[in-house]
């Protein structure tokens, strides 16, 4: 059984973080049981911590017996291995109030909990409360997207219509579009905002078709002031949905209502997307979001840990920045695992806890200067002989500086060693090269990405 750990904020915070174990376990469970089972049986579960046990709340008795029979052992093992101690896990039916502590018979009824601020509610779909502009860390990889999103929420439908936001998984697209929704509603409480995934758009459409309620469907979507649709790459190949969406799009666009779309790819790269939709998508403002730079990764980690009243040491922060993965989602996952681990082990987030939480990312492999040289020479198409030569042309001096930088930061070789392995130069030359690349990296997103690519490739060999 897990012991509730009293934190500075009282046990409530402690429970909340224990429950974070559950979200931490989700990726592993997904991988283990496959997408279908995961979506059907795991996603609908809510996890609560009650009396030192993790209670998995499910919607029905049937669900309860199915999950218990088929998945409980896996769930139990996954949670226990994350916690570093055996966990007590029970599957309960939510409707029966099993998970909710009941007041003693003569105790006064608990006050209903009132949120500090009235939650802003979307007309269609649901806004995630924590995904706001304030909680979004801005830097060179996402500032264009951020500023566009702000402009859109200040004057919906006026400029940038549609706004098409694209970029890789876990980089903040869903966060930003929720922020747009919040901000539109903050400025005009009566605005009608729809924010939903393309999948729910399709499901709503299918339900309407089945029930012969297409008029109601059209009316519902065409009277909003802003339609925010997440992950439109999902519509690829879904002809009927694309067709209906096309008409919705046109109706809203003509009425100068704001449309915001996200996708993991640019419109031109979504295969199975009708040409007419593609050209509509491309007709507005396209903003791309890139993986965060090193500095942003550090800032994000600091912000997320402070939000949980945890201050990370520089050493731990550096570990996460270096090895926590490239997307914000991966970083957050690693951090949450560390926080949960620290809690169940009753320690702070020590280097050891961080390494355990980083799991496979943290495998420390030694990288040699020679490996760095090989990889850099390959990538830039210069020979190793040139790399270690004293030639000063930019085609060789730039790759050389990059290779020196990586020899220092990834291979962790000393300045004199690097100097020697690069044709016996003075070690101050190496120091200068490392400094130069460091400065460029901080300023230039392209350089940062190039280096992140090398770092990933060197560590994953
Ligand atoms: P996407 O939709 O692009 O796959 P999400 O918006 O779901 O990514 O982001 C993944 C997680 O990372 C979310 O928890 C989100 O809050 C967080 N996140 C992403 N970018 C940032 C950022 N710049 N600042 C703070 N949190 C971020
Ligand atoms: Mg998303």
The closest-lying atom of ligand 1 relative to the alpha carbon of residue 131 is 16
Interacting residues of 269 by C-beta distance below 8 A, sequence separation 6+: none
Q: Determine the pLDDT at residue 434.
A: 96
Centre of ligand 2 from the C-alpha of residue 46, in Å: 20
Taking CB atoms and a 6 Å cutoff, what residues make up the pocket around ligand 1?
131, 135-137, 142, 169-175, 300, 328-329, 332
Is 399 within 8 Å of 382 (Cβ atoms)? yes
User: Any bridge partners for residue 58, and if so which?
Assistant: 93
The pair phi, psi for residue 118, each rounded to 5°, is -60, 130
The structure's pTM equals 0.67
User: Any bridge partners for residue 93, and if so which?
Assistant: 58
- Angle ∠(230,138,264) on CA atoms, nearest 5: 30
Is 189 within 8 Å of 154 (Cβ atoms)? no
Q: Determine the pLDDT at residue 84.
A: 67
Per residue in 71-105, pLDDT (tens digit) is: 898 888 888 777 766 778 899 998 654 444 433 44
Between CA 461 and CA 453 the distance in angstroms is 12
Residue recorded with tokens 């004199």: 416
Ligand 1 mutation target, pool 172, 178, 333, most atoms within 8 A of CB: 172
Between CA 169 and CA 457 the distance in angstroms is 19
Q: Determine the pLDDT at residue 212.
A: 96
Q: Determine the pLDDT at residue 17.
A: 64
Per residue in 120-139, pLDDT (tens digit) is: 677 888 899 989 999 999 99
Point out the ligand nearest to the CA of residue 172: 1
- Within the chain, which residues score under 70 in pLDDT? 1-18, 84-85, 95-120, 360-365, 461
CB half-sphere exposure, 234, CA atoms < 13 A: 16
The closest-lying atom of ligand 1 relative to the alpha carbon of residue 142 is 23
Between CA 45 and CA 99 the distance in angstroms is 12
Q: What is the DSSP letter of 172?
A: S
Q: How far is CA 291 from CA 152, 248, 329, 359, 446, in A?
A: 23, 32, 11, 21, 11
Q: Considering Cα of 174, then 179, then 180, then 181, what sign does the dihedral take?
A: positive
From the list 361, 340, 461, the residue with the least C-alpha distance to 406 is: 461
- Angle ∠(280,281,283) on CA atoms, nearest 5: 65
Instruction: Return the structure tokens found at 53.
Output: 């046990």
Q: Which residues surround ligand 2, an ion (CB under 5 A)?
A: 173-174
Instruction: Return the structure tokens found at 114.
Output: 């009132």
Instruction: Return the structure tokens found at 258.
Output: 């704001």
Instruction: Return the structure tokens found at 55.
Output: 């209670």
Between CA 320 and CA 280 the distance in angstroms is 40
The pair phi, psi for residue 53, each rounded to 5°, is -120, 155
CB half-sphere exposure, 41, CA atoms < 13 A: 24
């Amino acid at each position: 059984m897990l012991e509730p750990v009293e934190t500075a904020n009282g046990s409530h915070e402690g429970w909340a973080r224990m429950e974070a174990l559950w979200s931490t376990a989700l990726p592993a469970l997904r991988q283990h049981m496959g997408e279908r089972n995961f979506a059907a049986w795991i996603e609908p579960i809510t996890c609560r911590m009650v009396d030192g046990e993790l209670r998995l709340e499910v919607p029905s008795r049937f669900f309860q017996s199915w999950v218990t029979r088929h998945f409980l052992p896996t769930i139990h093992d996954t949670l226990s291995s994350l916690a570093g101690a055996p966990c007590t896990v029970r599957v309960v039916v939510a409707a029966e109030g099993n998970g909710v502590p009941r007041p003693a018979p003569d105790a006064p009824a608990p006050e209903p909990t009132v949120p500090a601020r009235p939650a802003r509610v979307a007309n269609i779909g649901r806004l995630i409360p924590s995904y706001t502009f304030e909680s979004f860390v801005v830097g060179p990889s996402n500032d264009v997207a951020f500023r566009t999103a702000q402009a859109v929420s200040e004057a919906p439908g006026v400029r940038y219509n549609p706004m098409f936001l694209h970029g890789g998984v876990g980089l903040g697209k869903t966060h930003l579009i929720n922020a747009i929704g919040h901000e539109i509603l903050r400025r005009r409480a009566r605005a009608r905002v729809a924010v939903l995934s393309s999948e729910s758009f399709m499901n709503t459409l299918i339900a309407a078709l089945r029930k012969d309620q297409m008029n109601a469907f059209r009316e519902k979507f065409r009277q909003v002031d802003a339609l925010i649709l997440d992950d439109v790459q999902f519509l690829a190949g879904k002809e009927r949905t694309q067709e209906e969406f096309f008409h919705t799009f046109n109706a809203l666009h003509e009425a100068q209502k704001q449309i915001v779309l996200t996708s993991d790819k640019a419109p031109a790269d979504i295969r199975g997307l009708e040409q007419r939709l593609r050209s509509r998508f491309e007709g507005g403002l396209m903003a791309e979001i890139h993986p965060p730079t090193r500095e942003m990764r550090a800032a994000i980690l600091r912000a997320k840990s402070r939000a949980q009243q945890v201050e990370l040491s520089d050493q731990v922060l550096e570990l996460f920045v270096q090895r926590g993965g490239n997307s914000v989602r991966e970083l957050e996952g690693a951090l949450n695992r560390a926080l949960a681990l620290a809690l169940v082990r009753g320690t702070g987030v020590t280097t050891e806890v961080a390494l355990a939480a980083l799991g496979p990312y943290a495998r420390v492999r030694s990288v040699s200067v020679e490996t760095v040289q090989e990889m850099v020479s390959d990538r830039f198409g210069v020979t190793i002989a040139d790399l270690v030569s004293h030639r000063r042309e930019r085609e060789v001096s730039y790759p050389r500086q990059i290779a020196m930088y990586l020899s220092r930061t990834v291979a962790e070789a000393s300045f004199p060693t690097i100097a020697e392995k690069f044709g016996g130069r003075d070690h101050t030359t190496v120091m200068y090269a490392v400094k130069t690349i460091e400065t460029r990296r901080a300023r230039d997103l392209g350089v940062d990405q190039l280096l992140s690519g090398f770092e990933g490739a060197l560590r994953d060999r």
